[in-house]
Structure 1
Amino acid sequence: MTPSRTTLRAAVGTVSAAVLAATVLTGPPAAAVSPAAPVSAATATRTPGSVKFIDITGDGGVVLKANVSTPAGADGTRRYPVIVLPTSWAMPQVEYLAQAQKLADAGYVVVGYNSRGFWQSGGQIETAGPQDIADASKVIDWALAHTPADPQKIGMGGVSYGAGISLLTSAFDKRIKAVAALSGWGDLIGSIYSGRTQHRQAAQLLGGLGELTGHPGPELRGILKDFLGSNLAKEQDMITWGKKRSPATYIDKINANGAAIMLGNAWGDSLFPPNQYADFYEKLTGPKRLEFRPGDHATAEGLGLLGLPNDTWSHTRQWFDHYLKGTDNGIDRAAPVLLKSRSTGAYEGYQSWRDVPSGHRKIELTGTQRIRTNIDSGANGGLVFLSSMLDQFFRLPPMASIPLLPRSVAAVWESGRYASEQRVRGTTRLHTTVTGTAESGTAIAYLYDVGPLGLGRLVSHAPFTFHGKTPGRPFGVDLELFSTAYDVPAGHRLAVVVDTVDPLYIEHNPSGARLTFSSPADDPSYVSVPVREGGQPSHKA
């Protein structure tokens, strides 16, 4: 049966502290503005520099609650670039007002609207489905008909859900010339089902917040039920549903339309890991930019939503200035890949994502290790939102004592001590041979920075799940850990840990199952860690 509101509230409650912290960072309080009474599109007259709360008719006649900000002095005698901002998942329509007012002061018409199915907007939550894309185009139509918007200078952007809708709309609406997609996704399935493993806390959080702030339809409820219930009979249906909502599915259309696309994300994004965004970025052929910073979902740009100084929003403004206004501000000549180190906070610029690592450090996974399943060894990825925010603001990633990890439930390999600092940059890859005692199973691989006392600080991790394997027959596993930028101090080691339980994920290990990790002579097991050797100059934001 479909999870009840009580069940979903309980799920959200498991990460309540993190959610509250994220809410502070990702949404301005209602008290920040004084909304006027909503008015219809036909009666939405503007005063110079005003903010008006309006109703816009979306696809199928659904009413979208929106607000429009116009430049001071706008009198209808000239046209201005327009930026459309769909709200994030579960956020109210005032989400972008602080940034909208800044953009309006800089000469933009800005229309922010509540995505269908959330808060006071009509309809049901479509999860960036075709009706959400049609809504975005309807909002553009409204802006061109009721504001001094320039039809040749249309941009879209947003955070999280708004980022995904913006990217998808750029595939189907050729009028869009520039997009800023912050904390979004290129591949929805590759985000919350990476390694064929359900990201439990992420899905529970999205489902719970959808129930509390919106109107999920039967399709979304069914997908969540099957996803969280591990209904393998519906797996292909879930994958098809997710692909339909993934910008990567429409990459040829996006490239053909030629919008300038800026992508921003956090290294520790609990909902949309950085790997899938980097892969999407590499497939873009038009003007493009990729920025990664420390933090979790939407925390890198969150303070900017409160109107505070913020690098992500400053770069977003520069992106729109150049590609909508034609301002020669140099962002088109700057290094298109900008990374901020989790360890130092310094910026580094690269010409492509492939150029980020200049070498690799291989850790041989020698010997044979056999572990029991269904027991948490103490190695884990932390809690959704909370752990990566602690890393962002206090440089405190999840930690584990590597010598104390019970070897009966955790396979552990360590490198030697490094004589010099190892600047991990990019995507760590694991290759190993696994033999299970059951046809299904789940394991989670972790990479730790281990200090002299054996305390490991999490560098990266990723889960993988298998089904339909013959018990007792070895098979190969290739796994990408989540991309990162982390500096391992001289004198430290790197440790690879594999166990079978992590609160972030749903695991598929039958009771009493065992997993064996081996390294055949003709196919040795290893972890390849990407590093940046030599000096890479820091770049100012």
Structure 2
Amino acid sequence: MGQHRQALRAAALGVAGATLATGSLLGTAPAAHAGTAVRFVDIKGDGGTVLKANVVLPAGADGGRRLPLIVLPTSWGLPQIEYLAQARRLADSGYVVLSYNVRGFWQSGGEIEVAGPPDVADASRVIDWALAHTPADPGHIGIGGVSYGAGISLLAAAHDPRIKAVAALSGWADLIGSIYSGRTQHVQAAALLDVVGTATGRRSAESREVFGDFYRADLADEERLLAWGRKRSATTCLDRLNRNAPAVMLANAWGDSVFPPDQYADFYTRLTGPKRLELRPGDHATAELSGLFGLPNDVWTDTRRWFDHHLRGVDNGVNREQPVRLKSRSTGGYEGYPDWKSVAATSRKIELAGTATVRANGDSGANGGIVLLSSIVDQLVRLPPVASIPLLPRARAAVWQSERYAKAQRVRGSARLHTTVTPTASSGTLVAHLYDVGPLGLGTLVSHAPYTFYGRTPGRSFGVDLELFATAYDVPAGHRLALVVDTVDPLYIEHNPTGARLTFSSPANDPSYVSIPLREQ
């Protein structure tokens, strides 16, 4: 496992380098708009830890008038100037904007706590400082950020009732549900975070230990990992968040390979206060990226509209729009829905008939791509990972296909796999991939998800229910859908002993199928 870990870290270095370069490029942005004032300050966080921050004030902010406050914790590995372009625009609209480097990164003190209790307490200390040293209005406070900043923002809003509005962009509500879904380690995502954190910050002993547990893939460490993740997940303190009732905007990308969109959709459904959910093509934080350079950006435009309405009382119509807003990966158009359950108005089953046995430990060629890179390509040129379905080795992959569709199928939401598995070993991993297959047999990836089992009796069948990651994808008329199930995907750690086999069957009393969620034509 040590060699595997080193290889994964090396593979992550290219993506990590791009992330660090982004942080450097952000520093080339102009310091401020004409009329705005920028101050770089030190703020004492929890336990006296010094947090490096910058304050952007609008012109005329010293006139004695109280102004709404927006706090922006930085993303994982990015410096305090990350949000300067957006902070200027918010300040031009009449906000006091305070962005700070979270503890453990760059020049801020302390160690990386991975959104632990000290990070949550820091957000409140930053608000305290802003109320004491700027014309910030204590009755109109918002918080937001991208990725790490988003996760901290949700947790802070659950613990600090002064926060009235949140914009959580490309973040997580369930940390374990993000990087350990299906009881499977999302190892490329973890390696990326590990490399960036090591290069730009100082990791705490606990975080180093947890990453070690994660890579070792030892079931004995699972409960400790789960407890660590629950403490850092807004789902754990959802009751407190609903009691405080801030207006919460959640935005994410369909292909987010660090924090997949499903955990946001589930969290959104359980929120009871004012709320909005936006999902777009892209990967982790790529939908927001151009806005960090000050370029036109839908996510940041909607973020400003959200804050304007809920902090400044602007009647901009955001409260009258459909609260669930999706952008298709295929057409690029936006769709509005009254709630998440309305996204898939109907469903259609593909029966998984017959029996198929696959050998483990080998990549069939069907996989979810490369963390960050594959979904960025899909976002920019609409080219997801591809596989030739007829050429996939049936000894390594079980394959089922639908009929050719006479009209386009608009897949919306999470496809659901139900099947029966008979293993030759007590533990194992399977990965389900859903493909759009054209006339020549070339499949483009629609969605996928991993699943790992432990403690099963070899030779005894058991049922598997697995939700694939949510998506919005249009299958053209004349194409098929294909479900491919294999045992290896480079995105994940596999738990298949050497020489293991998995048999998929469809008993008469419990037929196997994949249910495809569809939007009505």
TM-score (norm 2): 0.97
Give 1:327's match in structure 2, choosing from 305, 308, 314.
314
Residue 371 (structure 1) aligned with residue 358 (structure 2): yes
Give 1:14's match in structure 2, choosing from 11, 16, 28.
11
CA 1:26–1:421: 2 relative to 1, 3 Å: farther
Residue 183 (structure 1) aligned with residue 174 (structure 2): no
Residue 287 (structure 1) aligned with residue 274 (structure 2): yes
The 8 Å contact of residues 27 and 95 in structure 1, kept in 2 or not, is answered as: no
Residue equivalent to 2:85: 98
The 8 Å contact of residues 186 and 492 in structure 2, kept in 1 or not, is answered as: yes
Deviation at 1:75, TM superposition (A): 1.3
Q: Give the distance between the partners of 1:347 and 1:354, measured in 2 at CA.
A: 17
Deviation at 1:29, TM superposition (A): 2.5
CA 1:383–1:513: 2 relative to 1, 3 Å: same
Q: Equivalences for 1:117-136 in 2 at 5 Å?
A: 117-136=104-123
The 8 Å contact of residues 423 and 488 in structure 1, kept in 2 or not, is answered as: yes
Deviation at 1:76, TM superposition (A): 4.0
| % identical equivalent positions | 68
Q: Equivalences for 1:286-305 in 2 at 5 Å?
A: 286-305=273-292
Residue equivalent to 2:209: 222
Q: Which runs of 5+ in 2 are unaligned?
A: none
The C-alpha deviation readout for 1:71-98, integer Å capped at 9, x for no partner, is: 1111141011000000000111110000
Deviation at 1:27, TM superposition (A): 7.2
Residue equivalent to 2:398: 411
Deviation at 1:33, TM superposition (A): 4.6
Amino acid at match of 1:58: G
Residue equivalent to 1:107: 94
Amino acid at match of 1:232: L
Residue equivalent to 1:465: 452
Residue 148 (structure 1) aligned with residue 145 (structure 2): no
CA 1:269–1:313: 2 relative to 1, 3 Å: same
Q: Give the distance between the partners of 1:34 and 1:259, measured in 2 at CA.
A: 31
Residue equivalent to 1:67: 54
Q: Give the distance between the partners of 1:8 and 1:480, measured in 2 at CA.
A: 28
CA 1:24–1:388: 2 relative to 1, 3 Å: farther
Residue equivalent to 2:386: 399
The 8 Å contact of residues 16 and 196 in structure 2, kept in 1 or not, is answered as: no
CA 1:188–1:256: 2 relative to 1, 3 Å: same
The C-alpha deviation readout for 1:53-79, integer Å capped at 9, x for no partner, is: 110000000000000000111114101
The C-alpha deviation readout for 1:478-505, integer Å capped at 9, x for no partner, is: 0000000000000000000000011000
Deviation at 1:459, TM superposition (A): 0.1
Amino acid at match of 1:142: W
The 8 Å contact of residues 85 and 113 in structure 1, kept in 2 or not, is answered as: yes
The C-alpha deviation readout for 1:303-348, integer Å capped at 9, x for no partner, is: 0001000000000000000000000000011000000000010000
Query: SS where residue 69 of structure 2 aligns?
Result: strand
Amino acid at match of 1:29: L
Amino acid at match of 1:280: F
Give 1:455's match in structure 2, choosing from 402, 417, 442.
442
Q: Which runs of 5+ in 1 are unaligned?
A: 36-46, 535-541
Residue equivalent to 1:538: none
Deviation at 1:439, TM superposition (A): 0.3
Give 2:218's match in structure 1, choosing from 231, 234, 237.
231
Residue equivalent to 1:169: 156
Q: Give the distance between the partners of 2:37 and 2:379, measured in 1 at CA.
A: 36
The 8 Å contact of residues 376 and 501 in structure 1, kept in 2 or not, is answered as: yes
Residue 530 (structure 1) aligned with residue 517 (structure 2): yes
Q: Give the distance between the partners of 1:395 and 1:26, measured in 2 at CA.
A: 26
Q: Give the distance between the partners of 1:9 and 1:513, measured in 2 at CA.
A: 25
Deviation at 1:208, TM superposition (A): 1.2
CA 1:417–1:23: 2 relative to 1, 3 Å: farther
Q: Give the distance between the partners of 1:182 and 1:153, measured in 2 at CA.
A: 20
Give 2:29's match in structure 1, choosing from 25, 29, 32.
32
Q: Give the distance between the partners of 2:459 and 2:502, measured in 1 at CA.
A: 10
The 8 Å contact of residues 356 and 505 in structure 2, kept in 1 or not, is answered as: yes
Give 2:245's match in structure 1, choosing from 258, 283, 292.
258
Residue equivalent to 2:181: 194
The C-alpha deviation readout for 1:323-382, integer Å capped at 9, x for no partner, is: 000000000110000000000100000000000011111110100000100010000000
The 8 Å contact of residues 250 and 264 in structure 2, kept in 1 or not, is answered as: yes
Q: What is the Cα-based RMSD across aligned positions, in Å?
A: 1.6
The 8 Å contact of residues 358 and 397 in structure 2, kept in 1 or not, is answered as: yes
Give 1:446's match in structure 2, choosing from 433, 438, 444.
433
Query: SS where residue 259 of structure 2 aligns?
Result: coil
Give 2:341's match in structure 1, choosing from 346, 354, 364.
354
Q: Give the distance between the partners of 1:446 and 1:16, measured in 2 at CA.
A: 27
CA 1:27–1:398: 2 relative to 1, 3 Å: farther
Deviation at 1:473, TM superposition (A): 0.4
Amino acid at match of 1:447: L
Q: Give the distance between the partners of 2:447 and 2:307, measured in 1 at CA.
A: 33
Q: Give the distance between the partners of 1:205 and 1:476, measured in 2 at CA.
A: 33
CA 1:9–1:308: 2 relative to 1, 3 Å: farther
The C-alpha deviation readout for 1:100-129, integer Å capped at 9, x for no partner, is: 011001100000000000111110101001
Deviation at 1:49, TM superposition (A): 1.9
The 8 Å contact of residues 431 and 478 in structure 1, kept in 2 or not, is answered as: yes
Give 1:428's match in structure 2, choosing from 402, 407, 415.
415
Residue equivalent to 1:315: 302
The 8 Å contact of residues 13 and 192 in structure 2, kept in 1 or not, is answered as: no
Residue 204 (structure 1) aligned with residue 191 (structure 2): yes
